[in-house]
Amino acid sequence: MDVKKSYYVDGVEFDTMDDFLRIVKCDDEEFPMELIIKSFDKPNSKYATSIDKMKKMYEKAKLMTAKDALKFPNMEQRMVAIKYAGPEKIVTELGGKLISSETVSKTHKRLTPKKSVKLDGVKPAGYEVLLEDMFDDEPVTFDDKYDLYKIDKKKLETDEDVFILHCVCPSTGRNYHIFIEPKYATKAIDAVASTLRDKEGSPLSRAEYLEMECES
């Protein structure tokens, strides 16, 4: 049962508590459960509800899906819901079209503990100098693959097509899906370059990104 007439996420209004909870529940780092629950526990407000009741409503709410996000009546609601549902859900649920796949071979220097050194957490005198003897600074070569997907605006019922870049962190193996501005969604490397900034705060070009990786 709704306990308030309207709810806001990123300044966009949603009509029901269930919609609100399904969206914010997708990002528990920005919207931790404890914060959401306590924000409605206001004794002096007619819209307040108990912590126990809010907790039950939160636990009952299902995570927002890309398909359900598209059912909202206006574009602002759809885009906010899609944002928190996660771009990876758009690709998998709505059948994103792969328009570019590119791989960059990279060589970076990484510090690895020498086998003969045991790190026990103790920092002796001259610790910074000892670091040179404790670690090997070896070059590591690996391939970074970038996949750029396009989701047709007709599927999303938006004014523009949506572009999403997929990549995998070589260190952790974690998958990342990133929204890309349409003007940079030509090739996969152009797309990833646009997510980085130069000293003036401007997006890197393809050539600047590749040069930066060669110098790393």
pLDDT band per the 50, 70, 90 thresholds, residue 2? very low
Per-residue pLDDT at 45 exceeds 70: no
Per-residue pLDDT at 132 exceeds 80: no
How many angstroms separate the CA atoms of 144 and 105, rounded?
A: 6
> Rounded mean pLDDT of 117-123?
55
> Rounded mean pLDDT of 54-59?
90
Per-residue pLDDT at 213 exceeds 70: no
How many angstroms separate the CA atoms of 207 and 104, rounded?
A: 12
How many angstroms separate the CA atoms of 214 and 216, rounded?
A: 6
Beta bridge partners of 143: 105
Per-residue pLDDT at 89 exceeds 60: yes
Residues 162 and 156: beta-carbon distance below 8 Å: yes
Residues 135 and 166: beta-carbon distance below 8 Å: no
Per-residue pLDDT at 149 exceeds 90: yes
| Least confident stretch, 10-24, 72-86, 129-143, 149-163 | 129-143
> Helix crossing, 87-94 with 75-85: angle to 10°?
100
Name the pTM for this structure: 0.64
> Rounded mean pLDDT of 93-116?
78
Look at residue 3 in the predicted model and tell me its pLDDT.
46
Per-residue pLDDT at 4 exceeds 50: no
How many angstroms separate the CA atoms of 26 and 33, rounded?
A: 11
Look at residue 19 in the predicted model and tell me its pLDDT.
94
Per-residue pLDDT at 159 exceeds 70: yes
Q: Greater confidence, 199 or 117?
A: 199
